[in-house]
Structure 1
C-alpha cells in the first residue's frame, strides 16, 4: 500500500507530547500518529461499549437497591412475627391475643 505525505500544522506542546508518547512506545512520531489515526474507530467503539456497560451497571444498582428494600421489609415482618409468636407462648400476651385465644376456645 503506497503512502502519501501530508502536512499538518500542530501546536508545539502537542508535538512534544506526541514525541514523548512515541518514545515511550519506541516508535517514530509518524508511526505513532498513523497508529492513532488507524485506531480512532476502535476508540469510538470502546466509548459506546463503556456507555452501554455504565447503563447496565446503573440498572443493576437500581435493582439491588430495590431488592435490599424488599429484604429489609421482609426482615421487619419476620421480626414482628417472631415477637408475636413469643408473646403467644407467654402469659404477657397483648389483650387482643388473649381475647383471640379465649374466642377460639368457645
Structure 2
C-alpha cells in the first residue's frame, strides 16, 4: 500500500505575511481524497513563499497564491502532473 499523500502549507512569519493562511484555507475547501492538508512551520525557503510541499513525492511549490490552488489540486493531486510554473528549485535538487 502506498503512503498517504500530505500537503503542507507553511504558516511561518514570512509565508504568513505573503498570504499562506488564504492558501491553506483554499486547499481545505477542495475535496482531496486520500490527501491530508496540514499547516507547517518554516520550510527554510523564506522569500520564496508561500511555500507548499507535497509528500511523499517531495514536490515543492513556491509563491503559491490562493488562485494557484485549483491548478495544484486538479493537475497534480488528481492527475499526477506537477504544476511546472510553480515548482521550487528544491524539487529538482531532490531528483538529482
State TM-score, norm by structure 2: 0.20
More contact order relative to length (CA 8 Å, sep ≥ 6) = 2
State TM-score, norm by structure 1: 0.19
The structure with the largest alpha-carbon Rg is: 1
Which structure has greater strand proportion?
2
Which structure has greater helix proportion?
1
